Amino acid sequence: MINWEKQIQSGEFKTLARCISLVENEADGYTELLQSLPVTGSAPIIGITGAPGAGKSTLADALIDTWVNDGKKVAVLCVDPSSPFNKGALLGDRIRMSEWYTHPQVYIRSLASRGSLGGLKHNILEITSVLQAFKFDYIIVETVGVGQSEVEIAGLADVTIVVLVPEGGDEVQTMKAGLMEIADIFVVNKSDRPAADLFVQNLLTMMGPAFSHNEAPPPVLKTIASQKEGVKELTGLITERLGKISHKDRKAWLLAERAYHLIKEHRMKNVDREELKRSIEVESSNGDFNLYRFVQKY
């Protein structure tokens, strides 16, 4: 039997890659690996979400640069759309972060969403727990840009950054309360473009009614990630927010969300869609099929 605790203590990226692959593919031994994870891992998880083309990868690159220059160790998980042919990560090369792939303080991993509609892989919680065991200072999770269904990032991240661009006026107008609620920080990237100030003002105006007098809306920060402008201020806001979530109640809710997700996945693990289809075909052949009586069996 593999001594996972000893493997993790090595801190080697090669070992980390092997552990993530084991968990991602749910290969033999992955349960023992997860159960052996130490409780010492506490790296904050920074979620970056937003529409495609908003500059999420460029912003992540700029955050890495700032933290590495401060002597920090950073891990990045990029959850990408899946290839319809091999189910691998479609954007796995991550050209914008290419300079960090061999850096000793940075670990980057692209993961295929494999059909997950919420922007995250189904076992992203387990993978981030593995990363925390390897004692990074920050873990960045960049999600698939699939819109409002990305609210599930709020159950994973300690701080959630929603990235917008000045041309996203229609996007803001159709933004639902759910996305408003998950954002700890709004970043208006590419703010050197025309009408950026007007866009920020409209965003602030729209947020007003969504928050009570006792609750301040999330900050809105303008950045030009490609030029590293505004990124130092963003790291300051992240640090400030991390200080606030040390509150016991907030942390308990975050852990409860993660536990709920894990329990749901565990209970659904043995439910196979093809088997469901075959069972429905058999039971519906007698003309007395009721979907709700059927699902009670599970």
pLDDT at residue number 86: 40
* Tokens at 18, concatenated: 């092997």
Residue 17: other Cβ atoms inside 10 A: 12
CA distances from 194 to 61, 166, 240, 287 (A): 24, 7, 30, 62
Rounded Cα–Cα distance for residues 49 and 52 (Å): 9
pLDDT classification of 186: cutoffs 50, 70, 90:
very high
Chain centroid, CA 157 distance in Å: 6
Look over the chain and give the mean of its residue pLDDT values, rounded to a whole number: 80
In degrees rounded to 5, what are phi and psi of residue 251?
Answer: -65, -40
The dihedral built from the CA positions of residue 59, 62, 64 and 66, taken in this order, carries a sign that is: negative
Closest among 60, 65, 57 to 46, alpha carbons compared = 60
pTM score > 0.75 for this model? yes
Is 80 exceeded by the pLDDT of residue 255?
no
pLDDT tens digit string along 146-160? Answer: 544 455 677 778 899
Q: Which residues of 84-122 are buried (b: 16+ CB within 10 A; e: fewer)?
A: eeeeebbbeebebbeebeeeebbbbbbbbbbebebbbbb
pLDDT classification of 236: cutoffs 50, 70, 90:
very high
DSSP character string of the chain: ---HHHHHHH--HHHHHHHHHHHHTT-TTHHHHHHT--TT--PPEEEEEE-TTS-HHHHHHHHHHHHHHTT--EEEEEEEPBPTTT-SBTTTT-GGGGGGTT-TTEEEEEEE-TT-TTSS-TTHHHHHHHHHHTT-SEEEEEPP--GGGGGGGGGT-SEEEEEE-TT-HHHHHT--HHHHHH-SEEEE-STTSTTHHHHHHHHHHHHGGGS-TTSPPPPEEE-BGGGTBTHHHHHHHHHHHHHHTTSHHHHHHHHHHHHHHHHHHHHHTT--HHHHHHHHHHHHTTS---HHHHHTT-
pLDDT tens digit string along 54-105? Answer: 899 899 999 999 999 999 999 999 886 544 344 444 444 455 567 788 899 9
Domain 37-246, second-level architecture: 3-Layer(aba) Sandwich (3.40)
Q: Which of 38-42, 111-115, 273-277 has the highest mean pLDDT?
A: 273-277
Closest among 123, 129, 137 to 39, alpha carbons compared = 129
Is 70 exceeded by the pLDDT of residue 179?
no
- CA distance between the termini of the chain: 34
Tokens 């990074």 locate to: 136
For the chain, give the percent of residues with pLDDT over 70: 76
